[in-house]
Structure 1
Amino acid sequence: MSGIGHSASGSERFSSRERRVLAVCLAAGFTSLLDQSVLNIAVPALQDALSADAAQLQWIVAGYSLAFGVALVPGGRLGDVHGRKPFFLAGMALFVAGGLLSSCAQDAWLVVAARLLQGLGAGLVNAQVIGTIQDVFTGAARAKALGMYAVTAGIATALGPPVGGALIAAAGAEPGWRLAVLLNVPFGVATLVAGARFLPRPRPQNASAGLDLPGVTLFAGLTVLIMLPFIRSSGYLAYGSGAAVLALALVLQQRARARSGRRPLVHPALTRSAPYALGTGVAMAQFGASLAYGMVLAVFLQSEVGLAPMTAALVMLPQAVGMGVTSTFAWRVVRRFGEHRVITSGLTLSALSLLAGGLATLYVGVGALPWVLALCQLCAGAATGFTVAPTQAQVLRHAPGEAAGVAGGLLQMSQRMAAAVCISAVSGLYLHASVPGLRGMREAFWHASLACTAIVAAGLLISVVNRSRGGAPVPPQVPLAPPKGKELAQ
């Protein structure tokens, strides 16, 4: 990847061409994340307007994540084999079409279909985003680019609830939820135009390797069977048995394909890399615990403390602010102290913040509780900002250039699965541990906080093991070996 600008030499400075590419990647991340956070606020109004039942509502909320997870690895493989730009544009077009369809829907099942379409598009797009960052940036510049991606995630997460709430409050429930789901269409169209203009031309890495359609089919089926029981909160044994069968079939099929000399869906380097697997485990623990805690906190603040949705959103807003702020300079801290130390410190702060929030619900009065929880959220967000981008950079460092899309897709899909499992488990613990009355709900929230703290602690332990297995951390300012055949071109 010689000749693409300053970042190729390991500097954190971007060339003008690289800034344009990064801007497209950040716009894609912002658009898909804003869509999800806005919808969460619009769901009650949507439910009333379309008379959606519980099953339809569940699919509207969870179908997006399910389709997103299914599309990630096949989408990454398509980008690795045939070039990323066409699939980025196709995915963004699907995302925009799904948004338009949702906003015009007169039936709840049509919204479900539209959300599945949007999820597929978003998964296809995000697989190309991670692969493109891998292709274009190296060393410290890659860490900085991933940090900016995390900042974008924090901003989108922070803006979604208040913007969605404001639209519904201003326009009313019926037009308000339609405007909320339509909000991302102009962002998607702008990203589509910018991607067509500024993303690198597709340069297939190894088109002769083929897509591995049997592997794609098995992997997609495995993803559905793993995530579906946690989305539906039922059928764990049946789905788990089916997932075990498909997992075994996938392993055997991938080994057979590799022995025949053809490239399997999951690159052999990824299956042999302990740092990649352990780093993915860290990312899963952090992501799953963060989303599970946020969901339970939102329910607790509104149902038990009695806060209005907008007020509850303001209590949770510092988490996104803290993440956005620390993500902007996390790459500098990593360069000074090393990835392992920063990730370990971030996970430690995250666990302490979650624990403090749980303790606060036990001992702080109702009047002061929202303020204390907001402070804990700020600390948790700061910890997340120090953890997310360094973990991504550490994990993806072990992926070969020709498998960057699959590596990024596997990472994101693993995080989605972790979120589904953790949300189901922690919310179930919260609901089953609660008894009528605020004191009972405080104790239930304390138990949920302990569970999230334990999940983060498990991630911390994995991080320590990863460091002991990997030896001295690789300094991020040292440029990584660029993938051959990948050049940035207009």
Structure 2
Amino acid sequence: MSAGARQGGTSTTRDDQAADPRRWKALSVCLVAGFMTLLDVSIVNVALPSIRTGLEAPQSDLQWVVSGYALTFGLVLVPAGRFGDMYGRRNAFAFGVALFTLSSAAAGIAQNSTWLVVARLVQGIAGGLINPQVSGLIQQLFRGAERGKAFGLLGATIGISTAIGPMLGGVIIRLGGEQDGWRYVFDVNVPIGVLAIVLAYRYIPKPAEKRPRKSMDPVGVLLLGIGVVLILLPLVESQEWHGTVKWLLPAAGVAVLGVFVAWERRYARRGEPVVDLALFRRRSYGLGALIAALYFAGFTAIFFILTLYLQEGLHYSPLAAGLASTPFAAGSAAASVFGGRIVTRLGRPLVAVGLVLVGVGLIAVEIAVRLVPGQHVAWAIAVPLLVAGVGSGLVISPNQTLTLSEVPVAHAGSAGGVLQTGQRIGTAVGIAVVGSAFFTQVASSHGDYATAFRHALYVTIGFVVVTLAVAFADILADRRSPGERPVH
């Protein structure tokens, strides 16, 4: 089977005739909103000192400002995708943006830390509503090579938003001042959100038809939600919850997900489950989702430990620490767009090449920190981070294109929600594991942040190596069974 076939084939005449002329404008609206929600995952990290000063917030509330957003974001992704599949992605998208805009405004005027935590929880719900609609709309509006380009732009958006968040946060806080600069981190979302809602109703097409469905599968939604919370909660609170008892919760979460799988199989015999488990029998989807989860475990942890090293260890300002990740963001943005254009021809080998570049770049970062551990380290790691960023751009968007290539459009939202839930769990696992390695080394070495960063980097590289092994397994399996065809 050719790579082009795996990712969705070439456009047919009928597809070209049916293509909505507003599709690229609709995509632009989706990407702006997606950028806004993903940016809020990382931008808040550099705002925490300002929030602590401005609201006199305790450390426990500061932790929930970060982790609460990640928790509720991951919780609603799958049911939100299912909702969009059922009732139309435009309405679900617009509602999510409206909720995100209102909760951002509420966060910006928060008078105490409890208020801010609640606003962040609602923000996370809104972000989880928006993102499955973006991937679902790409599946709906684009075909063939155009779909690869669209996912390339989405991959660039993911890479840039994650990498550039600390820098933008540093700029905004510098302009707004130490006392209230953090408020502008949230306030900037309000005009963008209002504009996105207006443009969504102008450019995103109405659903062509409503598919009759019996229910949202409430039992399945509940079981999935409980399982995801049990897995994510001790991971996002790993630095606040001490002791080993907390690790019973992920085990319980896996057990609940086992019950969820059994329920979904039973429910599929009489209705339409919230997750179509048959998707995982498609190698492109099952292995692609695993690649995404494993890669995000290493990918997002890079910026977590880099920010800690630069700010806590070398006393960089938030702005300077944020600027240090710019080469990664630039490389990721350029390569994501390029990767989206060529993934139709190269398929999964392109993802493998990207993972090799990420691994080489991170190894070079480790060497640079070993040779230049002082204040000039940001310059020493600039080129290695650029190489890693280029590799990352060849992983995220091409893998997403390939993973969703055989998914029927009617299930695009829920399939995208499952994929992104795996990414969120991977992110939480990566930050917990890599962060634990970092903080353990800091404690044992009496504040040697350079050594701690390098040791945590070894764990990150380990995630990349495992991800590469899965990609190779998919490539080998593809060569042995070339007859699969995609579902449009």
Q: Same fold (TM over 0.5)?
A: yes
User: SS state of the match for residue 210, structure 1?
Assistant: coil
In structure 1, the residue corresponding to 2:394 is in which secondary structure? Answer: helix
- 2:3 — aligned with what? none
Alignment deviations for residues 212-270 of structure 1 (CA, whole Å, 9 cap, x no partner): 011011111111111000011144333124213312221221121123x2111111321
Contact 2:288-2:403 within 8 A present in 1 as well: yes
| Contact 1:323–1:385, Cα closer than 8 Å, also in 2 | yes
1:365–1:35: structure 2 CA closer, same or farther, 3 Å change rule? closer
Cα gap change, 1:177 to 1:368, in 2 (>3 Å):
closer
- For residues 282 and 252 of structure 1, what CA distance do their matches in structure 2 show? 24
**Higher mean C-alpha deviation, range 227-236 or range 186-195:** 227-236
Match of 2:423 in 1: 415
Give % identity.
Answer: 34
- Of residues 277, 281, 289, the one that matches 1:272 is 281
- Out of 409, 425, 429, the position equivalent to 1:401 is 409
Quote the residue 1:252 is aligned against.
262
1:361/1:400 Cα in 2 relative to 1: closer, same or farther (>3 Å)? same
Cα distance per residue 1:324-368 (max 9 Å; x no partner): 1111211333344x1222111000111111122122222335254
Alpha-carbon separation, structure 2, partners of 1:166 and 1:20: 29
TM-score normalised to the size of structure 1? 0.90
Report the 3-state secondary structure (helix = DSSP H, G, I; strand = E; otherwise coil) of the residue aligned with 1:208. coil
Verify: 1:102 aligned to 2:107, yes or no: yes
Distance in 2 separating the partners of 1:114 and 1:404 = 29
Instruction: Answer yes or no: is 1:123 the counterpart of 2:99.
Output: no
Matched residues in 1 for 2:315 and 2:43: separation? 21
Q: Does 1:240 align with 2:255?
A: no
CA displacement at 1:176 relative to structure 2: 1.5
* Residue 38 (structure 1) shift: 3.0
Alpha-carbon distance in structure 2 between the residues aligned to 1:277 and 1:216? 20
Matched ranges for 1:158-169 at <5 A: 159-169=164-174
Q: Which amino acid aligns with 1:26?
A: L
Q: Secondary structure at the match of 1:105?
A: coil
CA positional deviation for 1:15: 6.4
Match of 1:486 in 2: none
Contact 1:139 1:480 in 2 (8 A): no
Shift of 1:452: 0.7
Deviation at 1:400, TM superposition (A): 2.0
> What is the CA–CA distance in structure 2 between the aligned matches of 1:462 and 1:309, rounded to whole Å?
36
Structure 1 equivalent of residue 440 of structure 2: 432
Residue identity in the other structure for 1:248: G
**What per-residue deviation string (whole Å, max 9, x for no partner) do you get for residues 182-222 of structure 1?**
11111111111111221111245533242101101111111
For the residue of structure 2 that corresponds to 1:200, the secondary structure is coil
Deviates more, 1:284-293 or 1:358-367: 358-367
Counterpart among 184, 187, 210 of residue 182 in structure 1:
187
Paired residues for 1:142-291 under 5 Å: 142-157=147-162, 159-204=164-209, 206-233=211-238, 234=241, 235-259=245-269, 261-291=270-300
Kindly report the root-mean-square deviation, in angstroms, between the aligned alpha carbons of the 2 structures.
2.3
How far 1:65 sits from its partner (Å)?
1.1
| Compared CA separation, residues 51 and 474, structure 1 to 2 (3 A) | farther
Aligned equivalents of 2:193, 2:11: Cα separation in 1: 28
- Cα distance, 1:436 vs. partner? 4.2
1:312 to 2:329 alignment = no
Q: Give, in whole Å, the separation in 1 of the partners of 2:271 and 2:11.
A: 33
2: CA distance, partners of 1:220 / 1:316? 34
Give the one of 33, 39, 42 matched to 1:37.
42
Amino acid at match of 1:166: V
CA contact (8 A) 1:47 1:53 kept: yes
Equivalence for 1:136? 141
**Do 1:82 and 1:207's aligned partners in 2 also have CA atoms closer than 8 Å?**
no
Equivalent residue, structure 1, for 2:331: 322
SS of the equivalent of 1:126 reads helix
> Secondary structure of the equivalent of 1:464?
helix
Corresponding residue for residue 352 of structure 1: 360
3-state DSSP class of the match of 1:310? helix
* CA distance in 1: counterparts of 2:192 and 2:106, whole angstroms: 16
2:310 equivalent in structure 1? 301
Q: Structure 2, unaligned stretches of length 5 or more? A: 1-9
Q: Which amino acid aligns with 2:39?
A: L
Q: How many residues align?
A: 470
